[in-house]
Amino acid sequence: MLAVVASASWLSACSGAAGDSPEQAAEGKQAILGGSPAVGEKYAAVGALVEGLEYPGYGAIPFNAFCSATLVGPRAIVTARHCTPFIDAPTYPELSVYVAIGDNAYFAEQYIPVTSYEAAPPSRKKNGGLLLDGGRDVAVAQLASEPEGVVPAKLGRFQKHMLGRKFEIAGFGINDDLDDGARYAGTVKARQMHGLWYPALFHHNRWAYWNWYWTDAVTDPTWQEGRQWWRTYRLEAGYELLAGGRKGEALGCFGDSGGPLMRGDSAHTLTVYGVGFASEASQSKVCDLGSAYLVFHKKDIWSFLQRALH
């Protein structure tokens, strides 16, 4: 179901074992599927969030790349809210969280400590959005120092006329070649910003949905659960965007949480319009149906970003 990316058979972003809620599933690693290596200056602002140990004489030694992020100010990154628990409580007390700057999270050119963060305010609805927790899955984190030689990406406000247009996504983790930790990027199309999640994924074809649910969903299927999924999970209008997953498109998956939905031809024009937080997964293909992005569209999200960055 949804893997917290990104999925609800795996709402996956960073998902876990069958039966986990999307929030509980926010801790894995897998990167852009259907993409290609994202190397060079254009993508330098896209980094990985890693747990690591400071070793005298060697600097930070990374152990776990768990999410993606983008430098959007001299010492500020934007990422997914559900990635921040690692900042509060790393896997082991002696570990710290860093942003890895470079083409590979485990052999990065720079490891900059993350010192603090601010998460977006929650929805006024009790259970707004795909994760059903009322949260808005975006956060701004501060770094201990300014990365050297990296041009920060710009923040862009997503507009409704951008629906149907192509964007790039990027992230770290396991890709189609089963490499771990490399930064990959791919192209997606912005599909829709409202409506029920599963009807949108399956073009309102219940037969296709049920065929998938009974044969490939990552869960112990029941009719009651299947009906609940179809009717419950929905994009929060104006905040959450369905993108990617169609034939020829890339798709975010485990470990791409916090990675950018972006446009731009160079490091100086690269603009971030949202962050990935979930994908729909299947048992046979892991992530294969679509990803969700918290987009910078509504006034409250835009105001939060401006305030957190200044």
- Among 285, 254, 281, which residue's Cα sits nearest to residue 10? 281
Distance in angstroms (rounded) separating the CA atoms of residues 273 and 290: 18
Which tens digits make up the pLDDT trace of 28-79?
334 567 788 899 999 999 999 999 998 887 888 998 999 999 999 999 999 9
Which tens digits make up the pLDDT trace of 195-214?
999 999 999 999 999 999 99
Q: Token pair for residue 306?
A: 């401006």
What proportion of the chain, given as a percentage, has pLDDT over 90? 68
Q: Token pair for residue 179?
A: 């490499």
pLDDT of residue 174: 61
Distance in angstroms (rounded) separating the CA atoms of residues 235 and 293: 10
pLDDT of residue 170: 95
Question: Quick count: other Cβ atoms within 10 Å of Cβ 285?
Answer: 12
Distance in angstroms (rounded) separating the CA atoms of residues 265 and 279: 26
pLDDT of residue 8: 35
Which tens digits make up the pLDDT trace of 231-271?
999 999 999 999 998 888 998 887 899 999 999 999 999 99
Mean pLDDT of the chain: 87
CB 266 within 8 A of CB 41: yes
Residues 6 or more apart whose CB falls under 8 angstroms from that of 223 comprise none
pTM for this structure?
Answer: 0.89
* Backbone φ, ψ for residue 147 (5° rounding): -60, 140
Distance in angstroms (rounded) separating the CA atoms of residues 295 and 159: 9
What proportion of the chain, given as a percentage, has pLDDT over 70? 87
Instruction: Compare 87 and 15 and report the one with higher pLDDT.
Output: 87
Domains, in order of start, for the chain: 2-309 (2.40.10.10)
pLDDT of residue 107: 94
Distance in angstroms (rounded) separating the CA atoms of residues 234 and 129: 6
